[in-house]
Chain A
Amino acid sequence: MNRYAVRIGSVLALALSVGLGLSAVANAAENAPYAYDGKRVVFETLLHTIGGPAVSADDPGLRQLVRNAGGSVTWDADNQYVLVTFPGPTVISFAIGDAHYLIGSVSHPAAFAPFVRDGHAFVPLNDVLRALRLPAFSPDPAGGAPATSAPVPVPVSTADVAPAPTPPPFATPMPSPQPDQLAQVTGVDVQAQPGSVTIRVGIAGNGAYEWHRLRAPDNRWWIDVHTAHLATAAIDQNGGALVSSVRVRQQPADTVRIALSMPASEQVDVSPGNDGITIVVSSQIVEAAVRGSGTFGSIVTANASPLASPGASPAARYVPMNPHLIVIDPGHGGSDPGAVRGGLLEKSLTLDIAKRVRDILAARGWQVVMTRTDDRDVFAANDSAHDELQARDDVANSRGARLLVSIHVNSYVNSGPHGVATYYYKAGDLTLAQSVSRRIASELGINNNGVIKDKLYVVNHALMPAALVETAYISNPDDFALLQSGSWRQKIAQAIADGIVDYTESN
């Protein structure tokens, strides 16, 4: 009896869902005025969905609103995403079918997944407004916009949309870029080596870029350089065996697109620099995300000089070249097993946990690079501790990563000590370590030894905020049992990833 009831309930729920889903896109578009800060725009393509108001990326009212804030809107039908770009540089990115959107590289829940109707991409209007620090759209006259006469099947209020995200990046509207403020893409240099291709894109000026990888079996990549002008004629080059073609074109909305076509599914590493972007295509590169973004140009402050004594001055502030890149360092590896007990090797445990952290962060839209992805020394087998540890720092330092987290397993001469500890050294590391430690304390039922200042090489020589997590004591029987559990390793990976994201949202 109960079984039939469940089935009937399921059918009814399905029918209701389908009905609501259809209603989400079946309503006729309407003109809807929206007033804010003494300005007024009219959305001409507004739809009411069960998740809230949707507006086309091509809507004149939306484009005017974004333009008033100094930005532009791009709908890329080929790649199925919508970008709202500001010269800050900051990019708001919506992907069709994805119920999350990115501000920079930070993922936020969207009111609903953007969808395509009649060739036009519709995005959650209130998420765009929230990112711009504008009041939510409401058909209620008290909500900031005059009422319309069109019927509204599902009332929309701010309570219907996604939970409030972290404070948006824009405190005040930014001015529109002037032509002489556009970055100039000056050329492309393609160098093919055995097993890899390096493509250097020369760019004069500062700006932001966004990259996107089409899912297999399509092996194309796009790197869009925003608020940029192509200073040369369109470029078509052959990149050798790994890259069939490199094409550079000026796109509308002050965007220059670098398109790579590859005969096979290769991995691509996009690194910003002071004079442009370097793209390396190699099957050896680990890049889990399918899209990401970054900034280029002379945006690294003098205080972030590699020669500066790390931690010497609390006032020194590191500005990452790629604020969307996180580097995860699995401790030990290759010829260095780390701590060992009962056949369990520290180097294997750290690699396993690090991969889990990487996957969690990549799923949330971050670019993640690991210092190693298999059982190897990062510098060379049987190398010195200095060379090995510096090589790990170099992975993060050379890429201008936002932060580095090293993962280890602790050990002691007896079985007494147990639990997790998060280490920091430089003044800029403390907040990161605290964020990670807080998550460990709240998400894991394990003794948390808190944050500890310690002069650990890999933390000290990272130019960016860094922390080292000693996940548990392999020398303690209870911790040893936890380390053997895949589900526990997933839990601590989740806590570390959550702590990293917490940090990025407030720093």
Chain B
Amino acid sequence: MRNSRIFFLLALLIAVAAIAWYISSHRASPGQVTIYYSKVDAQSEIPWTISSRAQQPGESAAAYAQYLALYAASQAVTGPPADVTAIRFPAGTRVLSASVDGTTATVDLSLEVNHPGGGALNESGEFKALIWTLTALPGIDRVAVRVAGSKVATLNGGSFELDEPLRRSDW
């Protein structure tokens, strides 16, 4: 009787260990994405790396790509830490949604991005950082920008053109 208890506990321990091993072996390891910001000359893009979650079990590749796009775009719009001098999106600008279709990512920005009085330097630097960031993700080579769900030709300030998807070669 006593031997059978010991055997049972040992078997239970082995089962728990096996389950733990199985779960740990199938858990995704943390991923990384590269975020860019523009220096104030709008000519230099500075990369920095942050961690992101990896693709979850059962998560489709499309869903994961969409997650990465939203995550990376949000980080690019938020910008680097406050003590870093960089061209930044207007205060309050948020990423409302991001999606990926083929090689094109579409990012919908909140209305705050349309800050009047911005110049060419602002807009060029802002969108350069965003496009550099998203095109660093696997499979994405261009980015369509929407503002509050709508396609716009330009913003109010510097007349940077937004009605066509942007590529790195646009700079």
Contact = CB atoms under 8 A, between A and B. Distances in A.
Interface in B32-67: 40-43
A457 B90 CA distance: 21
A457 B153 contact: yes
Nearest to A340: B117
A452 interface: yes
Contact of B159 (A385, A409, A413, A449): A385
A250 interface: no
B166 A455 contact: yes
Contact of A411 (B42, B117, B154, B171): B117
Q: Is the interface of A mostly helix, strand, loop or mixed?
A: mixed
Contacts of B166: 455
A57 B117 CA distance: 58
Contact of A449 (B41, B155, B156, B157): B41
Q: Per DSSP, are chain B's interface residues mostly helix, strand or loop, or mixed?
A: loop
A360 to B, nearest CB: 24
A410 B159 contact: no
A392 to B, nearest CB: 10
A456 interface: yes
B141 to A, nearest CB: 16
Contact of A389 (B42, B43, B88, B159): B159
B117 A457 contact: no
Interface residues of B, number: 27
Contacts, number: 83
Contact of A456 (B42, B152, B156, B161): B161
A460 interface: yes
Given A386-B163, A417-B40, A454 B124 contact: yes
Contacts of B158: 408, 456
A215 interface: no
B119 interface: yes
Given A389-B154, A452-B42, A454-B124, A411 B118 contact: yes
Interface string B137-171: 00000000000000011111111110100100011
A156 B118 CA distance: 60
Contact of B120 (A384, A410, A413): A410
A395 B61 CA distance: 49
B121 interface: yes
10 contacts: A338-B117, A340-B117, A386-B153, A410-B120, A410-B121, A412-B121, A452-B43, A455-B160, A455-B170, A470-B121
Pick the 3 closest A-B CB pairs, nearest first. A386-B153, A411-B119, A410-B119
